[in-house]
């Protein structure tokens, strides 16, 4: 598991922020910008993370970002982040359609989360239409490319108040 490259910035001062949100990126999202750019765009994961941190800072919210390709790594990170965050924005990527474990980890935190996707999953292959998170997420945003993350974070922050 790697923290997104944008995490190389100096650590955030916790007392300066009223809230903390975790942004969780699933498998293959470390390849954004180069993997199928006609589908996923040319924006890189570090660029997305930087935008989310800037958006959070404007609202007094610290943003933690993590990306992992392994399901177990994601589950462990979610479990560990649960006590210190107020909510999650998650792009589970391919695990959307397969992972009961990620669903259970998010539910175990008791924190609200928004599911985001770069593409409109309903305009893709039928196997991508099912989400194990959809019925327990406070919202879903998809189809707007990297902007899906911004919209998801904004929605979550509005929900948190």
CA-angle at 155, arms to 49 and 133, nearest 5°: 85
15 assigned to active site: no
The reply to whether 40 belongs to the active site is yes
Nearest to 160 by CA among 98, 114, 92, 108: 114
Question: Read out DSSP for 37-87?
Answer: HHHH-S--HHHHHHHHHHHHHHTTEEEEEEE-S-HHHHHHHHHHHGGG-SE
From the list 95, 117, 132, 149, the catalytic residue is: 117
Encoding tokens for residue 16? 């300066």
108: CB partners within 8 A, 6+ apart:
79, 82
Instruction: Check 40, 95, 132, 149 and give the catalytic one.
Output: 40
User: Whole-angstrom Cα distance, residue 35 to residue 29?
Assistant: 9
CA 13 to chain centre: 22
Which residues are catalytic, by number? 40, 117
């Amino acid at each position: 598991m790697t923290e997104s490259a944008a995490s190389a910035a100096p650590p955030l001062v916790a007392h300066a922020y009223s809230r903390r949100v975790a942004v969780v990126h699933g498998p293959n999202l470390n390849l954004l910008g180069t993997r199928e750019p006609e589908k996923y765009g040319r924006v890189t994961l570090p660029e997305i993370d930087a935008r989310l941190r800037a958006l959070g800072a404007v609202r007094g919210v610290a943003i933690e970002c993590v990306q992992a390709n392994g399901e177990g790594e994601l589950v462990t990170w979610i479990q560990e982040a649960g006590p210190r965050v107020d909510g999650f924005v998650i792009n589970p990527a391919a695990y959307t359609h397969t992972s009961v474990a990620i669903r259970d980890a998010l539910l175990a935190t008791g924190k609200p989360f928004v599911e985001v996707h770069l593409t409109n999953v309903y305009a893709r292959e039928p196997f991508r239409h099912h989400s194990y998170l959809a019925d327990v997420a406070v919202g879903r945003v998809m189809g707007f490319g990297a902007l899906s993350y911004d919209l998801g974070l904004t929605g979550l922050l509005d929900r948190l108040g």
